[in-house]
Structure 1
Amino acid sequence: MVDAALIQQCADPGLKPAIVMQFIERAGSLDPLTVTVRSGNRIVLVPRPTTADEALALIRENLGRNTIRVGITQYPAGLGIVDAGQLKPDLVDACQNIRVGTALFAKVYRIVAKWYGNPTGREALPQILEDAIIAWQTGYFEGTAVFRAPDPGSLKLTAPMPAKNEIRRGDNDPIPGDFELSRESTASDPNKADIRIDLSGIGSREK
């Protein structure tokens, strides 16, 4: 289990620590030097790095040829990188990896939530989280490449809990009930994204 103090210090402030824990438990790694290499759907066996330099060398060796996930959040190593020389040791630093990984995951969550019609009831939020984790693992949601897709913007959701039958998968119509939805333009770069998303509704389902 990742240290709670590290999550409190480094994770995106818009995500509840318990949600970050679920995200890392299901889609991440406890070792900040973990480098996972895939060719299509096949995992490529690679030597386990023991130092940051070894991890970066392994990433550079596979960048552009295979899909690479790195560190505690299993961040997509090639995102926004054209040349292997642009790689920084920060990618395998535990705190920095959590920072950029949770920021990018929050964007993925917003993409999934928008597809659902931005529902606010507690019944829908666990399913959105489930789909967001799967989208993080695969890189896609409903045909959208979530890592490179535009950020739909920060969401501020406040609403009474709607009835279960008021939430329909794929329904883009507003959910009945009195709620406020505000959006702000954010940068697609996860290092610069201004992320504010309230996931407090998932509290009842936390592990």
Structure 2
Amino acid sequence: MVDAALIQQCADRALKPAIVETFVERAGSQDPIAVTVRSGSRVVLVPKPATPDEALALIRQHVGRNVVRVGITQYPAGLGVVEAGELQPDLVDACANLRMGTALFAKVFRIVTKWYGNPTEKEVLPQVFDDAIIAWQTGYFEGTAVFQAPDPTEVKLAQPTPPSEGESAEQRGDKTAAGGTDPAREAATIDPNKAGIRIDLSGIGAREK
């Protein structure tokens, strides 16, 4: 679990702390120097870095040729980078990675929210959030490359309330016993590792300004 103080200090203000926590749990890592490398839908086995310098060296080795995700938020390391030498140590700094990652995820969340027509219904919001998580993992939503797409800043995020807020454990237990479902809890149990990252960052320098 991400430290609450770190979320308060570093996360993008557009996202509720509980949403940031769920985002990291489902799509991120507890290790600030974690590096994930994929080639298409295949995970490339790489040595686990022991230090930030080792993590940066590993990123530089693969960025531009494979999809590289890094840090607490599993931020797309090649985004906006023309050459590997341009990579900054911020990628493996817990606070900086959380700041960049949550800001980018908030944009992805807004893109998905806009596509849904800016819904506010409590029944719909968990699905919007689920799709935003999948878009973060894959880099795409409805054919749009979400990391490069314009940010619909006019969209106001209506964020689902985690089950721990607004009702007691007994109330949630009653729902389960009655055969009801808790969308937020179901969302938290989805394994993000089963969604392949399909975005190709090899040409990212040509697309990013």
- Class of the TM-score when normalised by the shorter of the 2 chains: 0.7 to 0.9
What residue is the counterpart of 2:102 in the other structure? 102
The structural deviation recorded for 1:63 is: 1.0
Q: Secondary structure at the match of 2:24?
A: helix
Q: Which has the higher helix share?
A: 2
Tell me what 1:75 maps to.
75
SS at structure 2 position matched to 1:36: strand
Taking the TM superposition and a 5 Å limit, the aligned residue runs for 1:44-193 are 44-156=44-156
Quote the sequence identity (%): 72
Runs of 4+ in 1 over 3 A off after TM superposition: 203-207
Residues 68-117 of structure 1, C-alpha deviations (whole Å, 9 max, x = no match) = 00000000000000011111101100000000000000000011011111
Provide TM-score, normalisation by structure 1: 0.77
For residues 36-56 of structure 1, the C-alpha deviation after alignment (integer angstroms, 9 at most, x for no partner) is 000000000001001111000
Give unpaired runs (5+ residues) of structure 1. Answer: 157-196
Equivalent residue runs for 1:2-81 within 5 Å: 2-81=2-81
Mapped to 2, the partners of 1:99 and 1:80 lie a distance apart of 16
CA distance in 2, matches of 1:63, 1:108: 22
AA paired with 1:93? D
Q: What is the CA–CA distance in structure 2 between the aligned matches of 1:30 and 1:203, rounded to whole Å?
A: 20
Instruction: Assess if the C-alpha contact under 8 Å between 2:135 and 2:146 holds in 1.
Output: yes
Name whichever of 117-126 and 103-112 sits farther off.
117-126
In the alignment, structure 1 residue 202 sits paired with structure 2 residue 161? yes
After TM superposition, give the deviation of residue 203 of structure 1 in Å: 4.4
Which AA in structure 2 matches 1:130?
A: D
Cα distance in 2 between the residues matched to 1:206 and 1:21: 12
SS of the equivalent of 1:57 reads helix
**Cα-to-partner distance string for 1:119-170 (whole Å, 9 max, x where unaligned):** 11111111100000011001111111110111112323xxxxxxxxxxxxxx
Tell me the amino acid that sits aligned with residue 155 of structure 1.
V
Q: Distance in 2 between matches of 1:206 and 1:8?
A: 22
Q: What is the CA–CA distance in structure 1 between the aligned matches of 2:154 and 2:13, rounded to whole Å?
A: 13
Paired residues in the alignment total 166
- Relative contact order higher in (CA < 8 Å, ≥ 6 apart): 2
> Separation in 2 of the partners of 1:120 and 1:86?
41
Any idea what SS the aligned residue of 1:49 has?
coil
Give the Cα–Cα distance (whole angstroms) in 2 for the partners of residues 2 and 117 of structure 1: 31
Match of 1:180 in 2: none
Stretches of structure 2 that go unaligned for 5 or more consecutive residues are: 164-182, 186-209
What amino acid sits opposite 1:202 in the alignment?
T
SS of 2:90's partner is: helix
Contact between 1:14 and 1:198, CA under 8 Å: does it hold in 2?
no
Q: Distance in 2 between matches of 1:52 and 1:40?
A: 26
